[in-house]
Structure formats: C-alpha cells, structure tokens
Amino acid sequence: MSFGPLEFPSSSQATSTNVSNAEQKFSPCFLCKDVYLFPHEQEKCLAHIFEKHQLVISDSHLITDLPKYLSFWKEKFQANNGDLKEFCTTIKVDVKKDGVLMKDQNFFLLSDVVKEDKEIREKIKQDRLEKVLQQQNEEREDNKYSHGCLFCRQDVGPSRAEFLNHLSSQHNLQLGRPEKIVFFDKLISIIEEKLEKLQCIFCEKLFTDRNVLKEHMRKKGHKRVDPNNEFYDQFYIINYYEPERRWKEKLKPKEKDEEGEEEDECDWGDWEENCEVSIVCLFCESTFNQWKTIEDHMRETHQFDYSGSTKGMDFYDQVKLVNYIRRQIHLSRCIMCDESKETNVSLLQHMNEEKHLVLPPKAMWDQPQYFFPTYENDAFLSQIEDDASDCDNSDLEEALTEINKITQEGLST
C-alpha cells in the first residue's frame, strides 16, 4: 500500500499540511527507528504509523510541530515499555489485506482525551503562537519599511500597513487588514513573483500579457488570494489562535441569515469564509459549483444516481465509497469488475456497455485504506451527509474522522 495525495488535473493550488513556517527537520517515528524529514514527509510518517503500528494520531493536522509531539510520546512509550493501551483508545476494525479478510484487528487512537496528550498539544500550540505574535509585533513596529508597489512601482512606506493600504485604496488589491496578517514580507514576495510570471494570484492561471492579466483580475474579482488555498493560511493570524476552527469552517456549508440570504462573498478581515467551491465529477473531469448540479450531471451523463445509491449509508461508508471510486478511476480500472483500460475514455465506454456504472459491492470498498482521500481538497467529500439513522460509536467516529482527514489535506492509498 502506498500513500501520497493526488491532485485533480485542474488543480494548481499549493497546499500546506500545517499552518506553519517550520524549518526542515528530521524526526524518528515514536514507535520505531524509522526517520522522516518534516514537513515534507509528514504524511508519509503518519501513513507509516497507521500502517505499521496500527495507530492514529487524532487531529494530527492541528499539531503545528509534529516532531516535538512525536519526541514527547517516544519518551513516554519507551518509559512504558511500548504499552500503547495505557495511553490510547483501542478500536476494532475489519481489515482486508492481500485478499484475506482479517476481522477485529486492533487499532489505537492517541488523542487529547489523555491528560498528557492534551498538555503537550497546548504547549506546542502556545509556543507557536508566541513566536508568531512576536514576528507580527516586529513587523508592526518597523517604521523603516519601504517596498515598490506591485502595480505602479511607487515606493511605499514607512510601514507595512501603509503599503497594504496603498494596494487596497489605489489598486483594489484586497489582502485583509494589516493587524490580521503575519509573515508579511513572504506573502508580498509570493504575490510579486506570481505577478511577474503573469499569473493570477487567485486562480493561478497564466497569461501572456500583463494588461490581459490585469483585466482578467479586475473582471473576475481576482485581486485577492483564494481563501480555499491552504497555503495562504500561514499568513493570517486567526489560524494560529484557532487552527481547529479553520478546518471546521472549510467543511461548513454556507449558512443563510434569518431572511434566507447567503452571507457576503468573503470576510477578508477574519479570513474564514469558505467561498466558491469546485466539485469534480466521480467519473470524469467535469467540475461544478453546486451539489445539485453535479448530482444531475452524474445521473444524466453517467446514469449514476449518487443519492439513490447511497441512501441509508452513514458518513464513513460514503467516504470509503467515494475514495474507492476516485482511486479506481485514477487507475483506469472498472469500479465493478476491476478490469483495467488504457484510457479513461475507454474505461467509461466499458462501464457504460457493461452497465457497471452502479454501486459496487460493499466488499470492494469497505476497507480501511479508503478512509484516506485519493485527492487533496476533494470538495465532493465535504458535501457528504450522513444518511444513516444513528451512530453511537464515538471512539470509532473520532478515529475515522482523523484517518479520512476531511480536513482536506489527507493521505491517500
């Protein structure tokens, strides 16, 4: 089993696993001697811990210094002779490996339910916040700042706030309020580099002419960065105060006010509104902004009724089903008979002719590895609703939520 999140063909966004500017560092697994380079091999390390040691770290995406966390628990486990049961919740899961179904396999969940775990998480979070606030304070008190405008090349200063206000008032470039931004110089450098490459800072589309780029950004309202692009989370201070809220908000559908109207497009001050989403079809590269539209598309184009097929299925079963279909389509393999084709076009033709565009048998997708999203930032997963009547196993829910990482920065098989 190999891990590593895929990207949709249309995706050009850079992403980051954690809200951080962390330097590269090596850290060993806390249960063996395997060593990983962070942050680049963080997902590989988490996959190793899950696959080799049958352990899941709850909310690992919210731990901004995972090496420090692993080091803490490595000492704890060594002092405890490696007995995981003292600190971890035990859950039983049926695992299918090499075609053989192994029932009631033990998996472990390490979470902040344990006092020691909660304390180390809070300490890591607080240490990180203090460093970020110190950085922000230094930027705010620097009154010798000067930088050429990204558009008119006028030197603007003597503060970063003045520079930001100039971009907003003179060129309508909206990056948020000065007091909400940190690592300012890096943010401006990244935006400047994109503009020099004639690349839109929102959709990241490339252009051949600067005037065409400016007109595109003006007409499309793209004089801002995309709030759904996790790479930019590191530049907004709210993500260091409440990183868990950012991840919850990314999955939260737009709420309507008392009069039934949707909220404004984006609250750039708080940097938390989830704006336009792009949902990719399960079977082709078509994308849509509305859930109903993509359901209609799959029903009419592929004769696949998603809501009808998943009626009565709980959230976690739907997650596994979607990730299974994504993986099969990516590999150009039929979701029903597993027959391999050279192209996706021939695959769709095969599934149409054989009437294989239907719900696959549960045995094919009801496997732990399909808790891992096949694609990063798969907006399809965020639209899933639990259609089962009840689900009482809170420990299992927490473990599977973490494994699936609908926080959209997850692992994949």
Q: Tens digits of per-residue pLDDT, 237-276?
A: 988 887 666 544 554 444 444 443 344 444 444 444 444 5
Is 329:269 a contact under the CB 8 Å cutoff?
Answer: no
Per-residue pLDDT band at 104 (split at 50, 70, 90): confident
Q: What is the mean pLDDT of residues 52-71?
A: 91
- What is the value of pTM for the model shown? 0.54
Q: Among 210-214, 232-236, 243-247, 383-387, whose mean pLDDT is lowest?
A: 243-247
Tokens in use for 233? 């989370």
Asked whether residue 307 falls in the same domain as residue 238, the answer is no
pLDDT at 152 over 80: yes
Q: Could you tell me the residue range of the domain that residue 329 belongs to?
A: 279-404
Q: Say what the pLDDT of residue 342 is.
A: 86
Per-residue pLDDT band at 317 (split at 50, 70, 90): confident
Asked whether residue 262 falls in the same domain as residue 293, the answer is no
Asked, for residue 202, whether it belongs to a domain, the answer is yes
The residue among 232, 258, 276 that closes a domain is 276
Number of domains present in the structure of the chain = 3
Q: Say what the pLDDT of residue 382 is.
A: 75
The residue among 120, 122, 2, 131 whose CA lies nearest residue 70 is 120
Q: Say what the pLDDT of residue 139 is.
A: 95
Asked whether residue 374 falls in the same domain as residue 323, the answer is yes
pLDDT at 167 over 90: yes
Asked, for residue 124, whether it belongs to a domain, the answer is no
What whole-number distance in Å separates Cα of residue 136 and Cα of residue 132?
6
**What does the chain come to in residues?**
413
Asked, for residue 367, whether it belongs to a domain, the answer is yes
Asked whether residue 248 falls in the same domain as residue 332, the answer is no
pLDDT at 312 over 70: yes
Is 60:73 a contact under the CB 8 Å cutoff?
Answer: no
Per-residue pLDDT band at 277 (split at 50, 70, 90): low
Asked whether residue 263 falls in the same domain as residue 385, the answer is no
Asked whether residue 310 falls in the same domain as residue 370, the answer is yes
The residue among 276, 310, 328 that closes a domain is 276
Q: Say what the pLDDT of residue 61 is.
A: 84
Asked, for residue 1, whether it belongs to a domain, the answer is no
pLDDT at 407 over 80: no
pLDDT at 182 over 60: yes
Tokens in use for 191? 């935006």
Asked whether residue 342 falls in the same domain as residue 297, the answer is yes
Pairing of strands 100-110, 35-38: unpaired
DSSP per-residue string spanning 81-149: TT-GGGTSEEEEEEEEETTEEEEEEEEEEE-TTSHHHHHHHHHHHHHHHHHHHHHHHHHHH-----EE-
pLDDT at 12 over 70: no
Asked whether residue 189 falls in the same domain as residue 313, the answer is no
What whole-number distance in Å separates Cα of residue 145 and Cα of residue 346?
59
How much is the mean pLDDT over the chain?
80
Asked whether residue 216 falls in the same domain as residue 156, the answer is yes
Q: Say what the pLDDT of residue 369 is.
A: 80
pLDDT at 19 over 50: no
pLDDT, greater one: 69 or 403: 69
Asked, for residue 162, whether it belongs to a domain, the answer is yes
The residue among 192, 194, 213 whose CA lies nearest residue 12 is 194
Q: What is the mean pLDDT of residues 302-329?
A: 90
Asked, for residue 45, whether it belongs to a domain, the answer is yes
The residue among 224, 251, 276 that closes a domain is 276
pLDDT, greater one: 371 or 167: 167
Asked whether residue 292 falls in the same domain as residue 268, the answer is no
Q: Which residue has the tokens 């979607």?
A: 322
DSSP code for 332 = T
Asked whether residue 94 falls in the same domain as residue 75, the answer is yes
Q: What is the mean pLDDT of residues 202-221?
A: 90
What whole-number distance in Å separates Cα of residue 386 and Cα of residue 12?
31
Pairing of strands 89-97, 100-110: antiparallel
Asked, for residue 17, whether it belongs to a domain, the answer is no
The residue among 66, 56, 75 whose CA lies nearest residue 113 is 56
What whole-number distance in Å separates Cα of residue 9 and Cα of residue 252?
25
What whole-number distance in Å separates Cα of residue 44 and Cα of residue 288?
31
285 contacts: CB under 8 Å, gap ≥ 6: 8, 9, 10
Asked whether residue 266 falls in the same domain as residue 290, the answer is no
Q: Residue 209: CA atoms inside 13 Å, Cβ hemisphere, count?
A: 4
Asked, for residue 225, whether it belongs to a domain, the answer is yes
Tens of pLDDT, residue by residue over 328-372, are: 998 899 999 999 988 888 899 999 999 999 999 999 998 878 877
Please, what's the b/e burial string for 21-34 (b: 16 or more CB within 10 A of its CB; e: otherwise)? bbeeeebebbbeee
